[in-house]
């Protein structure tokens, strides 16, 4: 009868790992040590990690540092993951030991075991396998340069998606502003009646605010394009080829389709997470605008008998378990709540970034989660 587990070994000894898992001992230890949230890494972050591993294999092959069969197997394994396969083998909790070593080793082990399988070695084979997670998949890399690079790539990958959603919202406001431009109403300052405005002007201002938020997000994202990959453990580029950094940035740009730049100071790129803080602050700015607009919508739709009742929202669900016919502004309410969380996550990024010490910020796992 086939066992549900296989035995893997690391520097601390033997570990029981699920028989069909592509990950190995270090990942299993992380699963056992950090059962914090029950969550798994975001797919965009996994893809970013795996793309770094794929790029590194190709660059190290081109530099004559990695055997071609090993490199091709690593690249094929990575391509499978980037195509959506094996994502269920990325299992470490986002909340984990500092720096993200567990994230990095999860990627190294999954890719190494799948690469060995491609080369003809079964997961439970007792033979010495050619592709190692550290020596080959992680060649010329450290957790300390791959994790901050993956954070940057993941955020950049999601940028267009976020901006497109915000633009759709701005466009919807623009359409309503045109539709309602002939409606004259009282303006209000201090929540008291003020000079007249058109409803179209009021709603058009919401559209403009969102469009400016999009501009700020794109501007703040520019700093994320500067990559410190190749700095390895401390920024000194120890154990990396002199051409590795520049080649990696070019390869990642080619593979991802993103515009990326070389860091002009690998030590600074290792120590500082200010680019993540700046980008997070732009997200926070967007969040506060969404909260403000949602609050306006809630107030303008109040009533219908004793409130302002200037706009009426579509009814999407009953509003009360005790008052028949009551309908609540549930969409603006959930917009408020989700953006309260966004602002809290921005504070998390700020605190984590400020906790960096000397040559490394070890709080990057929570920055990964929050951003």
> 85 is written with which tokens?
């396969």
- Nearest Cα residue to 44 out of 71, 98, 99, 81: 81
DSSP strands (E only) in 85-243: 184-189, 192-198, 226-227
- Nearest Cα residue to 247 out of 52, 77, 75: 52
DSSP state of 227: E
Collapsing DSSP to helix, strand or coil, 228 comes out as: coil
Dihedrals phi, psi of 68, to nearest 5 degrees: -65, -40
DSSP strands (E only) in the chain: 5-10, 13-18, 184-189, 192-198, 226-227, 261-262
The residue annotated as part of the active site, out of 37, 246, 320, 354, is 320
- Nearest Cα residue to 230 out of 144, 108, 145: 145
- Return the number of other C-beta atoms located less than 10 Å from residue 122's C-beta: 12
Rounded Cα–Cα distance for residues 49 and 96 (Å): 16
Rounded Cα–Cα distance for residues 41 and 368 (Å): 9
Active site residue 320: yes
Q: Cα dist. 70→27, 52, 57, 114, 360 in Å?
A: 22, 16, 9, 11, 31
> 340 is written with which tokens?
């309260």
> 242 is written with which tokens?
């002199």
Rounded Cα–Cα distance for residues 52 and 248 (Å): 8
> 265 is written with which tokens?
């100071």
Dihedrals phi, psi of 7, to nearest 5 degrees: -100, 125
Rounded Cα–Cα distance for residues 362 and 95 (Å): 12
Collapsing DSSP to helix, strand or coil, 24 comes out as: coil
- Return the number of other C-beta atoms located less than 10 Å from residue 243's C-beta: 12
Positions marked catalytic? 320
């Amino acid at each position: 009868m086939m066992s549900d587990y296989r035995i893997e070994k690391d520097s601390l000894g033997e570990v029981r790992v699920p028989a069909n898992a592509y990950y190995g001992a270090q990942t299993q230890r992380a699963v056992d040590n950090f059962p914090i949230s029950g969550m798994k890494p975001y797919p965009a972050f996994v893809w970013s990690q795996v793309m770094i591993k794929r790029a590194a294999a190709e660059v190290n092959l081109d530099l004559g540092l990695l055997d071609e069969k090993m490199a091709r197997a690593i690249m094929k394994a990575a391509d499978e993951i980037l195509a959506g396969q094996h994502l269920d083998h990325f299992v470490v909790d986002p909340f984990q030991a500092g720096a993200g070593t567990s994230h990095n080793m999860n990627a190294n082990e999954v890719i190494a075991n799948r690469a060995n399988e491609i080369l003809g070695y079964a997961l439970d084979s007792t033979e010495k396998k050619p592709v190692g997670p550290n020596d080959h998949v992680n060649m010329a890399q450290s957790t300390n340069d791959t994790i901050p690079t993956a954070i940057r790539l993941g955020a950049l990958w999601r940028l267009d998606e976020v901006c497109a959603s915000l633009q759709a919202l701005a466009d919807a406001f623009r359409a309503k502003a045109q539709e309602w431009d002939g409606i004259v109403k009282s303006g209000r300052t201090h929540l008291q009646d003020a000079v007249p405005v058109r409803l179209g002007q009021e709603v058009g201002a919401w559209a403009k605010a969102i469009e400016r938020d999009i501009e700020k997000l794109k501007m703040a994202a520019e700093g994320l394009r500067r990559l410190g990959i190749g700095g390895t453990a401390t920024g000194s580029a120890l154990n990396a080829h002199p051409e590795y950094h520049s080649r990696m940035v070019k390869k990642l740009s080619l593979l991802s389709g993103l515009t990326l730049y070389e860091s002009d100071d690998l030590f600074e790129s290792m120590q500082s997470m200010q680019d993540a803080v700046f980008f997070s602050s732009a997200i926070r700015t967007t969040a506060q605008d969404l909260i403000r607009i949602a609050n306006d919508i809630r107030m303008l739709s109040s009533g219908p008998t004793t409130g302002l009742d200037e706009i009426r929202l579509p009814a999407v669900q009953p509003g009360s378990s005790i008052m028949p016919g009551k309908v609540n502004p549930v969409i603006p309410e959930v917009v408020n709540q989700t953006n309260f969380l966004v602002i809290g996550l921005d504070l998390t990024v700020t605190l984590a970034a400020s906790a960096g010490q000397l040559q490394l910020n070890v709080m990057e796992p929570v920055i990964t989660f929050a951003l």
